[in-house]
Structure 1
Amino acid sequence: MTTTLIATPDEPNHDRKPRTIRRRTSGEGTLYQRTDGRWEGATYVPTTDGQTRRIRVYGKTRREAADKLTKKINDHRQKFPLPARDPALGDYLTTWLNHIAVHKVRPNTLARYRACLRLYFPLHLLKKKLRQLTAKDIRLWLDQLRVTCRCCALGTDTTRDPQAADPSQRPRCCALGRCCQRYLSPLTIQYIHAPLRTALEHAVREDDLPRNVARNVQVPVVRQQRTEPFSPAEARTFLDAAQGFRLHALFDLALRTGMRRGELLGLRWSDLDLTGGTLAIRQTLQYVPGTDLVISPTKTPSSERRIALPREAIASLTRHRNQQQANRDAAGHAWADTGLVFTTKTGVPLQPSNVNRDFHQLLRGAGLRKIRFHDLRHSCASLLLDQGVDLIMIKELLGHAHIAITADVYAHVRLRLQRDAIERMSGALDEQPEP
């Protein structure tokens, strides 16, 4: 702060009131008016690589430019240093996928992230500077995806041959002016939004961004499908029909223990103790597009668990081991010694799609309604709940991370049990006392 006394030749300085002139101190930057009439503020701030970078702000008035410059300086003082450079969103996402996400997420999740980046991120969004990206940009992009037919956007129908001998291979919808309205589902929108939100969250942790703008964007709410597990009668029919299949032990374990498909396919003989009647789940086997089959750790730390085997499952696994030994003898040198419990006739790991094919063939042959393979897991939990098994024990068996997950997934089963209990109590209250 500088004080200057202004006086006329005829008056002493002490007879005049002082006028103060505000000067910006070191570190507050500079403000000046440009030739186009706008005001510009500029200052130097450190970057994440230890260097400094000059930043500029603009405003219609001096006050507006000063406020913007002060905000920039305050952001720096609140531990939000600027990145050494301001990359385009596409470059940042590619770097994040190749060097960060590859070490943090499961292979199938990484493959899904890459597919979302390749198929759904528009070029104008990928070219936008990382620090210029706004929540509005993301919201408009997702809104456009929701109302755009994928067949129209990709030109799927236009690639069909109008002269094809097979009528099913000729154009039939968008190319003929009849839009098939193949819109993205709410779950797909969530999948597309997830890698962007996660990548920007990493940028915030690395002090490359002051905040994650993707978190401010609301995505569609996905309504969970009500699972329709097997009834006890359907479960018995399923187990009886499974005895005629080579993978009978796999289907038997899936229903009796609630193991995930990947956990079953990744199961090794060294994880089994048939004498003690226990099984250890330590890894999973999954199909990853572009990589084929990949063995990876369990889905969560809670998924790595040891479970007790029922007598029927032990007997089924014993028969399967004898059958696999016969396949090994028949294959000879062509046998692939992977140590896995469930393999092809030459010891090669099973493709998940082939397991699904055999599963649906089993359902058709048994006259059962079509369900997903994962619904065997839900059937196991539902049957246990029907038998009065404690929810905590079911959580441990299924390997859920939190009991809230178990309670939420099977809330409809618990409600039925509560209704049965209430009706039994009502029956007791309505009983007439004996004379």
Structure 2
Amino acid sequence: MPPRKRNPNGSGTVTKRSDGRYQAAVYVPQPDGTTKRKYAYGATFEECDRKRRELIDRAKGGIPTPTRDMTLGQWFDYWLEVIVKPNLAGNSYRAYETAVRHHLRPRLGSKVMLKLGVKELRGAMQALAQDQGVKTAKRALRVLSAALTAAMVEDIGLTRNVAKLVHVRATTDSGKSWDAVTVLRFLSAARRLTVYYPVFLLICLLGLRRAEACGLRWENIDFDNRVVWVEQQRQRSSSGTIDDAGLKTETSKAPLPLPAQCIAPLRWTRMRTAMLRERAVSNGRPWFEDPEAHVFVTRTGRPLTPDHLYLDLQRIIRLEGLGKMNPKGLRKSCGTLLVHLRVHPRIVKAVLRHSRISTTLDIYAEALDPDVIEAVGQLDRLLRQPARIRELEASAGLETAA
């Protein structure tokens, strides 16, 4: 009798279970460097064998494969390095990694991911809210929800995202938008108080993100055809502040119409840069030769950074007494005012360059009080028409008789 052939080491096995299904077992690498046995199931031998080969291919490629007993701490390591870091912008990765390191791992890192329950998670988030504030807890919960959503795609048995079943109430006024009068007051003050008035004008009229405004180059502006191309953003990285071509969403990289009132301030900005350079060179002062030719630069020629823009914004708001606001609020004001002008939501989405229209409507296009009053008034007038009501009742009666 010839000896029974053995499967090569590392090729795994496929066996038939007592319930008629097939089970594949393969030793696969884990995110922490160890090796564990991973099981996959299929209704037929062919389906199960295909899953076995996929697991082997991942193992040969050095890609860790999570198992059912993986803790949240182990999953965070895998998720950040394999899923987040290669696919999201550097700032997004740093924000996720910070939330995991400071808030999620100390409280939930030792929990088995598949066994995490709603009650347990709610208690952890309530404790975090008490210690660090509700804003921090809400931000950490969003990061955890993104991590668990990614885990549901992997074949590890996770069937629900418990983070979506837990809610942390957070109140904030920093994201509110201004009405048209307040925006005009701010722009009037910015014209008097800062040389970066053109930046704020672009943000208010086009809804640019501050990193996108700081990343604008002269090659992105076509004065003849009055077009602005948003193609990169100014971001801070481990190597310093650089231009990043990876915008927040795929739809962020798009041409926008250049408003007429922006042309003169932008031309003045170019003349100011040339004057600053000539003065610095003639007086022997340091000057940074910007190879990318950014539109907005500092007194020494270096590209304007989002942090510098934020400080300038807060100074103007404080001097004018306009209340709390941030650059995201200016962007939100753009969307809100477009909705106030009865612009179609899809056009507002195109201006703000969102990937989903729900983002436009839910976050950046809140209804102004006059709009709400007018809408309720219209409904009130509609429901105060006795003749119309009797007509509808008569039509309903005829349909019932027929």
TM-score by length of 2: 0.69
The 5 A counterparts of 1:281-292 are 281-287=230-236, 292=240
- Distance in 2, matches of 1:358 and 1:52, equals 54
- Distance in 1, matches of 2:335 and 2:81, equals 39
The 5 A counterparts of 1:118-267 are 118-122=101-105, 125-127=108-110, 133-136=114-117, 139-147=119-127, 182-185=131-134, 187-207=135-155, 209-212=156-159, 214-215=161-162, 218-221=165-168, 228-244=176-192, 245-267=194-216
Which of 77, 83, 101 aligns to 1:100? It is: 83
C-alpha distance 385-197 of structure 1, shift in aligned 2 (>3 A) = closer
Superimposed CA distance per residue, residues 17-54 of structure 1 (whole angstroms, 9 cap, x where no aligned partner): xxxxxxxxx7337xxxxxxxxxxxxx984227599959
Question: Is the 1:75–1:210 contact (alpha carbons within 8 Å) kept by the matching residues of 2?
Answer: no
2:332 equivalent to 1:347 = no
- Distance in 1, matches of 2:376 and 2:124, equals 50
2:395 equivalent to 1:416 = no
C-alpha distance 117-380 of structure 1, shift in aligned 2 (>3 A) = closer
SS in 1 for 2:297: coil
Residues paired across the two proteins, number: 338
- Distance in 2, matches of 1:278 and 1:103, equals 32
C-alpha distance 323-92 of structure 1, shift in aligned 2 (>3 A) = same
Question: Is the 1:241–1:362 contact (alpha carbons within 8 Å) kept by the matching residues of 2?
Answer: yes
SS in 2 for 1:374: helix
How far off its partner does 1:387 sit?
3.5
Which of 12, 17, 20 aligns to 1:28? It is: 17
Superimposed CA distance per residue, residues 163-200 of structure 1 (whole angstroms, 9 cap, x where no aligned partner): xxxxxxxxxxxxxxxxxx54431x53343244444445
C-alpha distance 278-222 of structure 1, shift in aligned 2 (>3 A) = farther
How far off its partner does 1:359 sit?
0.9
C-alpha distance 45-264 of structure 1, shift in aligned 2 (>3 A) = same
Question: Is the 1:135–1:214 contact (alpha carbons within 8 Å) kept by the matching residues of 2?
Answer: no
Amino acid at match of 1:28: R
How far off its partner does 1:347 sit?
2.6
- Distance in 1, matches of 2:107 and 2:372, equals 54
SS in 1 for 2:327: coil
How far off its partner does 1:278 sit?
1.2
SS in 1 for 2:216: coil
Please name the residue that 2:243 is paired with.
Answer: 295
The range that moved more, 244-253 or 224-233, is: 224-233
SS in 2 for 1:354: helix
C-alpha distance 75-272 of structure 1, shift in aligned 2 (>3 A) = same
The range that moved more, 93-102 or 256-265, is: 93-102
Bigger CA radius of gyration: 1
Please name the residue that 2:319 is paired with.
Answer: 365
Structure with the largest fraction of helix: 2
Question: Is the 1:282–1:298 contact (alpha carbons within 8 Å) kept by the matching residues of 2?
Answer: yes
SS in 2 for 1:339: coil
How far off its partner does 1:99 sit?
3.1
Amino acid at match of 1:301: E
How far off its partner does 1:230 sit?
3.0
C-alpha distance 237-197 of structure 1, shift in aligned 2 (>3 A) = closer
Please name the residue that 2:348 is paired with.
Answer: 394
Amino acid at match of 1:390: H
Question: Is the 1:281–1:306 contact (alpha carbons within 8 Å) kept by the matching residues of 2?
Answer: yes
Amino acid at match of 1:329: E
How far off its partner does 1:340 sit?
1.5
C-alpha distance 206-120 of structure 1, shift in aligned 2 (>3 A) = same
Percent identical pairs in the alignment equals 23
Question: Is the 2:177–2:333 contact (alpha carbons within 8 Å) kept by the matching residues of 1?
Answer: yes
- Distance in 2, matches of 1:84 and 1:237, equals 55
How far off its partner does 1:110 sit?
0.8
C-alpha distance 98-406 of structure 1, shift in aligned 2 (>3 A) = closer
- Distance in 2, matches of 1:420 and 1:366, equals 33
Please name the residue that 1:159 is paired with.
Answer: none
Amino acid at match of 2:16: G
Which of 73, 85, 90 aligns to 1:90? It is: 73
Please name the residue that 2:400 is paired with.
Answer: none
Alignment root-mean-square deviation, CA: 4.0
Superimposed CA distance per residue, residues 317-339 of structure 1 (whole angstroms, 9 cap, x where no aligned partner): 11111111112223446314132
Which of 38, 43, 46 aligns to 2:25? It is: 46
SS in 2 for 1:344: coil
Question: Is the 1:44–1:52 contact (alpha carbons within 8 Å) kept by the matching residues of 2?
Answer: no
Amino acid at match of 2:188: D
Question: Is the 2:125–2:168 contact (alpha carbons within 8 Å) kept by the matching residues of 1?
Answer: no
2:261 equivalent to 1:312 = yes
Please name the residue that 2:391 is paired with.
Answer: none
Question: Is the 2:85–2:93 contact (alpha carbons within 8 Å) kept by the matching residues of 1?
Answer: yes
How far off its partner does 1:403 sit?
2.9
C-alpha distance 144-233 of structure 1, shift in aligned 2 (>3 A) = closer
Please name the residue that 2:7 is paired with.
Answer: none
C-alpha distance 117-362 of structure 1, shift in aligned 2 (>3 A) = same
Please name the residue that 2:288 is paired with.
Answer: 335
Question: Is the 2:23–2:42 contact (alpha carbons within 8 Å) kept by the matching residues of 1?
Answer: no
Question: Is the 2:23–2:41 contact (alpha carbons within 8 Å) kept by the matching residues of 1?
Answer: no
How far off its partner does 1:292 sit?
4.4
How far off its partner does 1:236 sit?
2.6
Superimposed CA distance per residue, residues 354-375 of structure 1 (whole angstroms, 9 cap, x where no aligned partner): 2111112112333433322222
Amino acid at match of 2:287: A
